[in-house]
Amino acid sequence: MDLRYDTVFLDADDTLFDYPRAEERAFSRTCARFGLADTPGLRDSYRRINREQWRLLERGETDPATLRIERFRLLFEETGDRLDPAAVGDVYVEELSLGADLLPGAREICEYLVKRYLLVIVTNGLADVQRSRLARSGLGELVADLVISEEAGASKPDPRIFEYACGRIGRIDRGRMIMVGDSLESDIRGGAAFGIHTCWFNPRGNENSTDLKPTYEIRTLEELGRIL
């Protein structure tokens, strides 16, 4: 246990949750419900458009309600499918909210951390999706709070999401906080902007080509238990 810290902020997707698996399943089921051919090309187009929309959201250039619809409007604009993007978006969100698969070691590290620190998930996401997934995963009983960008009115790396989180949990000493996540641009940059220590979860061993210097870097969640 590292006595420097009393609060651990954890990212959700691709840190605790297997997001690609949830996304793949949700997309496949949504296609089936609307009679769309679930092809690799269609999936690739959706992923590209979805990434672009989330980048806009993180820069404050769109909002969650628009993102839900716009990613499918742009997709159908490319494919020529005559479907209602709002209706498809609603079904996709419904299906995605069922995807509660955890990454290896996620539950174990949360069980370890909750005995030693105040554990808070801070995630860029849609509130109905993330709350459903947390409840289904069983992690809801282990964390003190779930802070979601849609409810906070700010997305990582905007430090205001951490200010919102601190207001909810009643903690103010930034020197005793650490942010753990897989994304350099949202998790690590956001934590650094807020003035707290950071831990980059880098399971694929990706090169850090940014100007960011995480306090720690780990390849497995098990390693986090040796740091904290």
Tell me the catalytic residues.
Answer: 11
Residue written as tokens 């992923």?
47
118-123 and 145-148 strand pairing: parallel
Judged on CB neighbours under 10 Å (0-12, 13-18, 19+), 81 is middle
Please tell me the distance from the alpha carbon of residue 128 to that of residue 130, in angstroms, as a whole number. Answer: 6
State how far the alpha carbon of 151 is from the alpha carbons of 17, 81, 85, 113, 134, in Å.
20, 32, 23, 25, 15
